[in-house]
């Protein structure tokens, strides 16, 4: 089972190293990073690569760069955006921050009924058609969990798109991006959520039928299935990591 070798650019490497150091708390807010020239020497890369990495850190809201002055670490809890969730769930050393993971699940659980309700109230014919297509594909893929997992994301994308709310769409993108990194590991765990094709069909029906309350209820039920399953995993991870076990 071969897989493509990771081909990451130096700038990405620099970015991820520094990001993980900051997220792990090794670099505290207010601390000054070494000068670009120094970092370049320590990391054994060119200053351009360091600069690109630092620029990305700045855009991510992790550091503040100022010409003439030092580059300082910011308090990411106050300045970072949703796109950092993925890096916070899976820490630099590969361990999982279960508290953050629970936060993601909770946000998902809270947003699902809202999205379902708003979509029901505003969805037009094209959204209805798209929902029908996705559900049909899901029913055709019964038992194929990896495919169902992808289709489930598609399903939600259609629902979110149906709300006509760009802010919700962007938030969904960020949350969906958080899954990407851990999708494969959780395919089996999420079996009860993504395998319940009839629930998705029911939700689509409620949306098309203009039943916002029913749609919200079903949406909550769907995500709750996954939330419960993942919670048991998180508890297991908690106990393993507490005992000093390095998991993979």
Total number of residues binding DNA (CB under 7 A)?
24
State the Cα angle at 186 between 184 and 188, rounded to 5°: 100
What tokens appear for 27 in the block? 């670099």
By the rule CB under 7 A, 4 interacts with DNA? no
By the rule CB under 7 A, 31 interacts with DNA? no
Q: Which does 47 bind (CB under 5 to 8 A by kind): its own copies, DNA, none?
A: DNA
Is 106 or 144 the residue whose CB approaches its own copies more closely?
A: 106
* CB-based contact 40:54 (threshold 8 Å): no
Classify 93 as helix, strand or coil: coil
d(CA 81, CA 174): 9
Q: Which does 173 bind (CB under 5 to 8 A by kind): DNA, its own copies, none?
A: its own copies
Burial class (CB in 10 A: 0-12, 13-18, 19+), 99: exposed
β-partners of residue 96 are: 90
By the rule CB under 8 A, 234 interacts with its own copies? no
By the rule CB under 7 A, 46 interacts with DNA? yes
Name the one range near its own copies by CB under 8 A: 71-79, 128-136, 209-217, 220-228.
Answer: 71-79
Residue 145's contacts (CB-CB under 8 Å, 6 or more residues apart) are: 187, 188, 190, 191, 194, 195
User: Which of 223, 206, 222 minimizes the C-alpha distance to 214?
Assistant: 206
Total number of residues binding its own copies (CB under 8 A)?
43
What tokens appear for 229 in the block? 């399953």
Name the one range near DNA by CB under 7 A: 39-47, 98-106, 161-169, 226-234.
Answer: 39-47
Task: Looking at residues 89 to 148 of the shown chain, list those that interact with its own copies (rule: CB under 8 A).
Answer: 99-100, 102-104, 106-107, 110, 114, 118
By the rule CB under 8 A, 31 interacts with its own copies? no
Task: Count the neighbouring beta carbons within 10 Å of the beta carbon of residue 240.
Answer: 14
By the rule CB under 7 A, 70 interacts with DNA? yes
* CB-based contact 151:141 (threshold 8 Å): yes
Q: Write out the residues near its own copies by the rule CB under 8 A.
A: 11, 48, 51-52, 55-56, 59-61, 77-85, 88, 99-100, 102-104, 106-107, 110, 114, 118, 157, 161, 164-171, 173-175, 177
Q: Write out the residues near DNA by the rule CB under 7 A.
A: 7, 9-11, 33, 35-38, 45-49, 51-52, 54, 65-71
């Amino acid at each position: 089972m071969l897989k493509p070798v990771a081909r990451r650019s130096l700038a990405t490497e620099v970015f991820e190293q520094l990001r993980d150091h900051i997220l792990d708390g090794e670099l505290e807010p207010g601390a000054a990073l070494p000068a670009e020239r120094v970092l370049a020497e320590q990391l054994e890369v060119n200053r351009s690569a360091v600069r690109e990495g630092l620029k990305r850190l700045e855009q991510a809201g992790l550091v503040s760069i100022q010409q003439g002055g030092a580059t300082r670490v910011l308090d990411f809890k106050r300045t970072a955006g949703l796109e950092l969730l993925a890096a916070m769930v899976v820490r630099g050393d590969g361990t999982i921050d279960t508290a953050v993971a629970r936060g993601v699940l909770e946000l998902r659980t809270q947003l699902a009924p809202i999205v379902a309700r708003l979509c029901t109230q505003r969805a037009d014919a094209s959204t209805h058609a798209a929902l029908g297509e996705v559900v049909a594909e899901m029913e055709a893929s019964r038992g194929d969990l990896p495919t169902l997992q992808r289709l489930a994301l598609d399903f939600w994308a259609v629902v979110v798109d149906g709300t006509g709310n760009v802010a919700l769409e962007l938030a969904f993108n960020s949350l969906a991006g958080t899954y990407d990194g851990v999708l494969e590991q959780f395919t089996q765990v999420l079996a009860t959520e993504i395998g319940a094709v009839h629930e998705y069909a029911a939700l689509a029906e409620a949306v098309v039928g203009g039943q916002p309350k029913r749609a919200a209820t079903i949406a909550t039920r769907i995500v709750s299935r996954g939330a419960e399953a993942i919670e048991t995993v998180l508890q297991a991870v908690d106990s393993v990591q507490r005992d000093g076990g390095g998991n993979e």
